[in-house]
Amino acid sequence: MSKKLSSTLKGFWQLIRPLNVFIAILSVWVAAYMSASYSLSITLILAAIAAGFIAAGANVINDIYDVDIDRINKPHRPIASDNIHIKTAWKLSYVLYGIGLVISAYCGWALFSIAFMNAALLFLYSYKLKGTILWGNLVVSFTSAVTFIYGGLAVNDAAVGLFPALFAFCFHLGREIIKDMQDIKGDLRYEAITFPVKYGLTKSIFLVNIIFSILLILTLLPYIYNIYNKSYLILVLLGVDTVLVLVSVLLWYRNDHSMLGKLSHLLKLDMLVGILSILIGARHVVLFD
């Protein structure tokens, strides 16, 4: 393999953000697995794969529209560093989106409609809404939440995804604001009026604290109402809620660019813990008596 080809493939890999893609696929499967009607059907497999391709395509488009700001905030990104040409990135996004939508079409009208809606909203986010006050954050949070409904719908049980969808919405909303705090320097230069740009870091931290406080309360409800079991409660308290409290406190004392990036990455990894907690709790796998 030539050095240039190797570099291009590495750039593609970075553009699609594999962890994000994995989380999208996992979210679909977990929502389906929680249902009493779960079976590893062709529809579910295709729905999960479609979600992964659409997430990958959306990530590429996000980098395309962020190229100027990334040259300040994240100069190592494939397009910002000129490793991948914008025209090449556009072609990649078309292919990924196209494959995702075609696959979702085989899953039925309802699943295709959600897939198409998410694809359109994520494009709109990158094209127009990212540099706005909260609208972009709300779109990302909504599309992440709907992924769980989509997963439940793949086994004809959309309701099973409601609690995970609520958790995902709040979790992503708080994390997206933290990411905007991290990107404030580049956003200021290119006149992207995000919440942190408009209202400053202090009010942004207050908002994140409020969102995470709501999320902390929400995570307790499935146990209180006997929907998820004790194993869920212990895992979510130790693995998710503790991290949310830690991040909320650290934001007041360490909100420099480097630390905000670390907190954002920590929260991304913590999504996996949250998904595991839901998976174990909803399927009544008892780890703790």
* pLDDT one-digit tens code per residue, 182-201: 988 888 887 789 999 999 99
98 assigned to some structural domain: yes
Residue 144 within a domain: yes
Distance CA 151, CA 280 (A): 17
Tell me, yes or no, whether 156 lies in a domain.
Answer: yes
Q: What is the DSSP letter of 132?
A: S
126 vs 172, 183, 257, CA distance in Å?
Answer: 16, 15, 22
Residue 289 maps to a domain: no
- On whether residue 12 sits in a domain, the answer given is yes
Q: What is the mean pLDDT of residues 18-35?
A: 94
The CATH number of the domain holding residue 248 is 1.10.357.140
Please, which pLDDT band fits residue 106 given cuts at 50, 70 and 90?
Answer: very high
| DSSP type of residue 226 | T
In-domain check, residue 287: no
| Lowest mean pLDDT segment, chosen from 9-13, 99-103, 251-255 | 9-13
- Count of structural domains, the chain: 1
For the four alpha carbons of 98, 104, 110 and 114, in that order, the dihedral sign comes to negative
**pLDDT given at position 117:** 98
For residue 192, is it within any domain? yes
CB 274 within 8 A of CB 240: yes
Domain span at residue 190? 3-282
Q: Is residue 225 part of a domain?
A: yes
Query: In sequence order, which residues have a C-beta less than 8 Å from that of residue 64 and are 6 or more positions away?
Result: 79, 86, 89, 90, 93, 126
